[in-house]
Homo-oligomer: A and B are copies of this chain.
């Protein structure tokens, strides 16, 4: 042990990021002080500044890391060929990925407003790439005559919103497993993108004012 007692740079950095993620997601970025993060890790407040230039950078790195992991994971996900299979893969992937890291998901959605404009733009660009991945699937399905979608953008936003919404209510040990939830959402999303089968008289009733 050539190293001094208490010198553990290799693990302190990750510990700080983990503590910040947990505290920021539970209490909000503005409500958490650097002292509180330090206390959670077991170091003094000043020590944090060896690992991050300031509080804003700490938040930004957490959010960027999450978004890049999301994009990388989706790029590596087995997807199938046909649009319906790709859409089902997206639904299953989104729910699984998001349920595996609820704190990072919560942070990425709730603390966009805490980013300075430059950092906001960078996170927003990553979010847009993920949205585009879904839109591309829907567009391909429309072109192939497999989906019937009145408005591509609204369908894209609807699907992402309903999938991400799972994080707000799902609890492990509840009535349904993650996989069961995934399959039910696959079916609901499939209905959402059609195609219509038949004259759809019931939609007619719904369409009335």
Contacts and interface: CB of A to CB of B under 8 A. Distances in A.
A155 interface: yes
A145 to B, nearest CB: 11
A205 interface: yes
* Identical chains in the assembly: 2
Interface residues of A, number: 54
A29 B84 CA distance: 43
Interface in A174-205: 176, 181, 183-192, 194-198, 200, 202-203, 205
Interface stretch (A5-13, A36-44, A57-65, A160-168): A160-168
A207 B183 contact: yes
Interface in A96-134: 110, 113-114
Interface stretch (A46-54, A68-76, A146-154): A146-154
A2 interface: no
Given A30-B28, A85-B208, A181-B154, A195 B202 contact: yes
A35 interface: no
A158 interface: yes
A7 to B, nearest CB: 34
